[in-house]
Structure 1
Amino acid sequence: MTGKLAVSTSGHDRGRIYVIVKEEHDLVYLSDGKIKLVEHPKKKNKKHIQIIKRLPNEVIQLLEGTKFSDLNIKRAIKLYMKKQEEN
C-alpha cells in the first residue's frame, strides 16, 4: 500500500487526502507534505482510511520511486485534486 493516495474517513481530519509513506500491522503512516511531513507522518489505523484506487498516470509517476519527498507528495495530491475537478 505504500505510495498510494488515501482519504481519511474518521477523526478531525475526515475527508483529507494523504499519501501512505509507511505501513505496519494495523497502522499506516500518512503524509500530506504540508502539515504532516514525511519526517513526522500521521499514524492512523487502517480501518480509518479509504484507499483511492483510480489514479491518473501522472500521479502514479510522481509517487513511484523509493524515497518520498514533501514536494512530490504535495504535487501528487494537488494534481489528483485538479484531475478530479476536471471530471
Structure 2
Amino acid sequence: MKTEAGTLVKSAAGHDKGSYFFILREEGEYIYLVDGKYKRLDCPKKKKKKHVETLLWEKHSPGDKIRENKKVTDEEIKHFIRCFKREEQVVRR
C-alpha cells in the first residue's frame, strides 16, 4: 500500500512493534512518524517504509490536516490514536 503524509500506520518491526503512528513526511525509503506522546511533531521517529503496515481509515483524522499542511497538534494526534486503539479492541472481541 502507498505510504504518504497523513497516513495512519502500525509499526511492524523494531522495539516499537505494534505501536500506531501518523506519517509526518517521507524522504526516499524513510518516513518520519509521530504519535503525539513519545514521538512528537518537533522530533519525529525516522523509520524505513518496509517496517510499517498501512492502516485504512475512512473517517476524519489528524492525518487530513497533515496532508493539507494545516496546523495539527500533538494532543490531537495522541487523542486520535488512543481512541483508535480503544475502537480496535472492541472490534476484536
User: How far 1:63 moved relative to its partner?
Assistant: 2.9
What is the aligned partner in structure 2 of residue 76 from structure 1?
A: 80
Distance 2:63 2:52 in 1: 18
Stretches of structure 2 that go unaligned for 5 or more consecutive residues are none
Is the CA contact 2:6–2:62 (under 8 Å) kept in the aligned structure 1?
Answer: no
Distance 1:36 1:81 in 2: 17
Residue 64 of structure 1 aligns to a residue in which SS?
helix
1:62 to 1:31, Cα distance in 2 relative to 1, 3 A: closer
2:90 aligned partner, one-letter code: E
**What is the aligned counterpart of 1:24 among 24, 27, 39?**
27
**TM-score, normalised relative to structure 2:** 0.81
Is the CA contact 1:4–1:63 (under 8 Å) kept in the aligned structure 2?
Answer: yes
What is the aligned partner in structure 2 of residue 67 from structure 1?
A: 71
Is the CA contact 2:62–2:72 (under 8 Å) kept in the aligned structure 1?
Answer: no
Aligned-residue Cα RMSD (Å) equals: 1.4
Distance 1:61 1:35 in 2: 19
Stretches of structure 1 that go unaligned for 5 or more consecutive residues are none
2:5 aligned partner, one-letter code: T
Residue 44 of structure 1 aligns to a residue in which SS?
strand
Residue 3 of structure 1 aligns to a residue in which SS?
coil
Is the CA contact 1:56–1:80 (under 8 Å) kept in the aligned structure 2?
Answer: no
User: How far 1:4 moved relative to its partner?
Assistant: 1.3
Distance 1:68 1:47 in 2: 26
**What is the aligned counterpart of 2:46 among 38, 43, 51?**
43
